[in-house]
Structure 1
Amino acid sequence: MENVTVFIKTLILFLIVSISAVAQQNRLPDWAFGGFKRPANINPIISPDSTSQFVDPVLNQTVRWESNDTFNPAAALINGKIAVLYRAEDKSGVGIGFRTSRLGYASSSDGLHFKRNHTPVFYPANDSQKKYEWPGGCEDPRIAVTTNGTYVVFYTQWNREVPRLGVATSKDLKHWTKHGPIFEDAYNGKFLNIPHKSASILTKVVKGRQVVTKINGKYWMYWGELHVYAATSDNLVNWKPLINADGSLKELISPRKGYFDSELTECGPPAIWTNKGIVLFYNGKNKAGEEGDKRFNGNSYCAGQALFDKNDPSKPITRLDVPFLRPMEAFEKSGQYINGTVFIEGMVFFHKKWFLYYGCADSRVAVAIYDPAHPAFPDPF
């Protein structure tokens, strides 16, 4: 009898644990991408390298340009390979934002193992953008490609006074033409000198290739760090923010009290048009204390998705209540940002899978993969 009682208690405990596990399993709606799986024994794919050197054109001296941190990557497909442009910091200062950032280049034939250039491919120089980019540098790129093979990168120009979104174009991802701040001409420069960053241009998969797309004859982007805003363009270079009747910026998505995005909703990699709507990938910062989601670490960055109307990019429909990717691995929680970060910026459709590249604790680069034919579960909560 005693053995039967023990068996029954064990069975009940097993059922309770199983039911609890199912209840805690993160589930995605049918419009969302994922889940993304971290490949075993691969990450981080890019880490700081103190041996890389180049002669900085502003300082006119040799700099170990990626010796302190390598993080926040953009990604694109070129010549059948995945190229990643990642933010790299030297040791010229102390603390996030007080060093100089440049963009490094790495390429891969499988999306997992990368060969890196020893010198950066995008950086502050003695050019027309120096006043916007020096001494803080060029930060946090997002890349997309047009149907004619022109790559466009949106990045933060950081002069340690005001962060601004800059834009540049290229045919090979290594030689770039800088076009300056994207809001320089809009509304007579009204928004040029307000802080603005994090641009996610609208793309679409056409015949297996993810390319920049238009809606109603206009290019669209989502942008913003605190709130999500939008902007349109005729030429990919000059952008006009969406505004309200009173001339203020139109907020499309804002932080939510009690959720993982309770402090910031910062745009991630290029948004994607689908038959169910436009999917915006974004980075949510969890507010510490009573206003955040207590299931996640205070001040941590987790990855979310929002759905917009496919015919009206300014109309939000819904978004995930819990992140699909969150800091779980040791390298995502140890670095110069100790609260934990999975900061998504680059995503590529490659061999019928989605390769998502992200910054880890503002120190390294990692990858997670979504296979639509065999989707994994999103990160648990």
Structure 2
Amino acid sequence: MGYSSTPPVITPASREGDANYTPPTFPIGPFTKYAHNPLLVPNPEHEFESAYIYNAAAIVLEDTVFLLYRAQNAAKVSTIGLAWSSDGYNFTRLDRPVLEPSEPWEAGGGVEDPRVVRIEGVFYMTYTAWDLDIPRLCLATSTDLVHWEKRGPPLFPDFMDVECTPEGKTQIRRGHTKSGAIFPERNADGKYMMIFGDAFLCVAESDDLIHWRARPFNEHFATGVHPWENRLLEPGPTPIKTRDGRWILVYNVATTGAPGYGEEQYSISQMLIDLDRLSEGPLARLERPSVVVSAPNERLGQVNKVVFCEGMVQFRGRWFMYYGQGDSELGVATADVQK
């Protein structure tokens, strides 16, 4: 594991995806945690990531896995770092962040939790701006993963939703938005769609991938149905198209407490989606999560009992699910590609 001041050259012409990519069936898995986790840990010699590293978006370009990861310094200000690997396990890191706080709505807390999708040579990164008061979903674009343009103010400043508190009560909140997973294709109506939120899964649409309209909260896409997901649902990586033209959404959940799960315990699961019928909700979801808390650094960390995924790619015949461990370090779980 090393650092470089010069990242690999990425252009709009760079090839995306694994050379032998095979579309999946639902569900993907089973997943096995890598025996040598964590892959990325904080480094006191680099101030921007001196305290914590976790929650990475992932994409494959030119036979290389790239991660956009959340880094925190000792003051817990978040930035986005870049790392790359030729085998999916051993990463070189850029020696500086690629996205840093610069706007009033990012002051104090920084820029967090990226998701990334590439469409017609442009990378679209959704991220959370945190001013120590309200988290707000924002958007940035790039053509090389290094130089990013922030695309205006937060996407949904007046959005109202309902959250479930740790005690199991519900309350209304305004302006709180996070976690945007953008579908890489238009739907049948010619719209780009996004699943977002960190309580219920909500829906937004766009004509141009820059300007987004959130559907009202009462038109939300999904909420928890299992005890282990009754606290919140949060979308993970870009949805993945299946062999029969439907979509798999990897999503993160938390519980107020359930048999076999502690209070506020996070897990990672999957659901099956029809992009053209989002108003009808998920077609199916797993009865048990794909990945659950088990390792010591997942049980105890900056936040205890957390596994959290924002990046998953198919690479060299395997699925690589990159996930935060205890909001402190970054690990991976892998699964075979279905034949």
Q: Same fold (TM over 0.5)?
A: yes
**Which of the two has higher C-alpha Rg?**
1
Matches within 5 A, 1:312-331: 312-316=277-281, 317-331=283-297
In the alignment, which residue of structure 2 is the partner of 1:65?
Answer: 48
Change (3 A) 1:249 1:169: farther
In the alignment, which residue of structure 1 is the partner of 2:247?
Answer: 278
Change (3 A) 1:136 1:280: same
Question: Structure 1 residue 360: deviation in Å?
Answer: 0.3
Matches within 5 A, 1:30-49: 31-41=26-36, 43-49=37-43
Hey, what's the Cα distance between the residues in 1 that align with 2:153 and 2:68? 19
In the alignment, which residue of structure 2 is the partner of 1:161?
Answer: 133
1:133 aligns with 2:106: yes
Unpaired runs of 5+ in structure 1?
1-29, 53-63, 93-98, 203-211, 375-381
Kept after mapping to 2: 8 A contact 1:165/1:181: no
Match among 47, 51, 58 for residue 75 of structure 1: 58
Hey, what's the Cα distance between the residues in 2 that align with 1:230 and 1:349? 26
In the alignment, which residue of structure 2 is the partner of 1:113?
Answer: 90
Kept after mapping to 2: 8 A contact 1:229/1:242: yes
Match among 295, 300, 303 for residue 265 of structure 2: 300
1:269 aligns with 2:237: yes
Kept after mapping to 1: 8 A contact 2:255/2:263: yes
Hey, what's the Cα distance between the residues in 2 that align with 1:313 and 1:47? 38
SS at match of 2:277: coil
Hey, what's the Cα distance between the residues in 1 that align with 2:249 and 2:256? 21
In the alignment, which residue of structure 2 is the partner of 1:122?
Answer: 99
Question: Structure 1 residue 114: deviation in Å?
Answer: 0.3
1:149 aligns with 2:86: no
Paired amino acid for 1:271:
P
Kept after mapping to 1: 8 A contact 2:48/2:72: yes
Change (3 A) 1:314 1:181: farther
Matches within 5 A, 1:358-369: 358-369=323-334
Hey, what's the Cα distance between the residues in 2 that align with 1:311 and 1:234? 15
Please give the per-residue CA displacement for 1:334-376, whole angstroms capped at 9, x wherever unaligned: 21112x11101011122242211110000000111121248xx
1:100 aligns with 2:91: no
TM-score, length basis structure 1: 0.75
Kept after mapping to 2: 8 A contact 1:144/1:151: yes
Hey, what's the Cα distance between the residues in 1 that align with 2:154 and 2:29? 32
Hey, what's the Cα distance between the residues in 1 that align with 2:48 and 2:116? 21
Taking only aligned residues, the RMSD between alpha carbons, in angstroms, comes to 1.9
Match among 174, 177, 197 for residue 149 of structure 2: 177
Kept after mapping to 1: 8 A contact 2:114/2:310: yes
In the alignment, which residue of structure 1 is the partner of 2:336?
Answer: 371
Kept after mapping to 2: 8 A contact 1:102/1:122: yes
SS at match of 2:276: coil
Kept after mapping to 1: 8 A contact 2:34/2:331: no
SS at match of 1:47: coil
Hey, what's the Cα distance between the residues in 2 that align with 1:162 and 1:65? 22
Q: How many residues align?
A: 300
Question: Structure 1 residue 75: deviation in Å?
Answer: 1.0
